[in-house]
Amino acid sequence: MSVNQTLPDSRTNPDGSAVVRVLSYNVRSMRDDEDALARVIRATDPDLVFVQEAPRFFRWRKHAARLAAKADLFVLTGGATAAGPLLLCSLRATVERTEDVLLPISPGLPRRGFATAVVRFGASARVGVISCHLSLDAVERRAQAGMLLDRLAGLPTRHAIAAGDLNEEPTGAAFRLLAADLQDCWSAARWGGEHTFPQSAPRKRIDAVFATRGVEVHACGVPSGLVGVSPRDLTSASDHLPVLAALTIPAG
């Protein structure tokens, strides 16, 4: 059964709310099969894509634009200016503001950041969005989760979505901190697969989509049965599997 047969279609409802499809994907700097990666993204028919490990070095903007074009999407913000997190969007999204944030750096550890934006679907379904990739170090990761919550609280919207590679499973301190304040969309509406890493034999759920209270979660999980996508595409596109969620953003 295809994704389009099991998830709600993207749409704006008569009450002004909007159903959106959100994809979170660690793309490992696009070092794997780029065409397979684009096929996977395109087949999920997303409105917003929260990318981690986007290219950050030589001609990184060109690489990001090429991936967006292949997936029938547009670059919203992020990339090297956010230390790797990137946001892509469809034409359904009206962009109100963007900001790339670099987090404090710890000696000997890679720089991390957030790609952030405020977008609107239809006339009144506004939502703040943040793509993140948390640290490999447990202490720094917990601190970054707190910074993510602070950043979400500071967005000029009532509703928000954060998604990314947390580098830890749900029992970890950072994951639990986020899940205490936000909806862990997989736990709210389980659909598809659970584990995202490693892609060839997934046994860990370290990639997640979170939403503020009030956002309705219809389904969330690792998609399967994607039209035009083979099992080999999913294993050759990246070292992670993607997470897809269908959410309703309330009006106003």
Which superfamily does CATH assign the domain made up of 3-249 to? Endonuclease/exonuclease/phosphatase (3.60.10.10)
Q: What is the mean pLDDT of residues 142-168?
A: 98
CA separation, residue 154 to residues 27, 191, 226, 241 (Å): 28, 31, 36, 30
Per residue in 217-246, pLDDT (tens digit) is 999 999 988 999 999 999 999 999 999 999
The amino acid sitting at 112 is: R
Phi, psi of 167, rounded to the nearest 5 degrees: 60, 25
Find the range with the poorest average confidence among 3-7, 175-179, 186-190, 240-244.
3-7
Residue 2: band (very low, low, confident or very high) from pLDDT cuts 50, 70, 90? low
Q: What is the mean pLDDT of residues 191-203?
A: 96
pLDDT value of position 6: 79
User: Would you kindly state where each structural domain of the chain is located, as residue ranges?
Assistant: 3-249
- Share the mean pLDDT of the chain: 96
pLDDT value of position 23: 98
Q: Which stretches within 20-59 are classed as H helix?
A: 34-43
Per residue in 13-41, pLDDT (tens digit) is 999 999 999 999 999 999 999 999 999 99
Please say if the pLDDT value at position 1 is more than 70.
no
| Exposure string over 140-179, b if 16+ CB within 10 A, otherwise e | bbbbbbebbbebbeebebebbbbbbbbbbebebebbebbb
Q: In what order do the strands lie in the sheet with 113-121?
A: 93-102, 113-121, 125-133, 160-165, 207-211, 183-184
Cis amide prior to 46 (ω within 30 degrees): no
* Measured distance CA(231)–CA(241) in Å, rounded: 11
Per residue in 43-75, pLDDT (tens digit) is 999 999 999 999 999 899 999 999 999 999 999
Q: Token match 């981690």: residue?
A: 52
pTM: 0.97
CA separation, residue 27 to residues 69, 108, 157, 186 (Å): 15, 23, 28, 20
pLDDT value of position 252: 85
CA separation, residue 112 to residues 5, 33, 57, 102, 234 (Å): 37, 25, 14, 6, 26
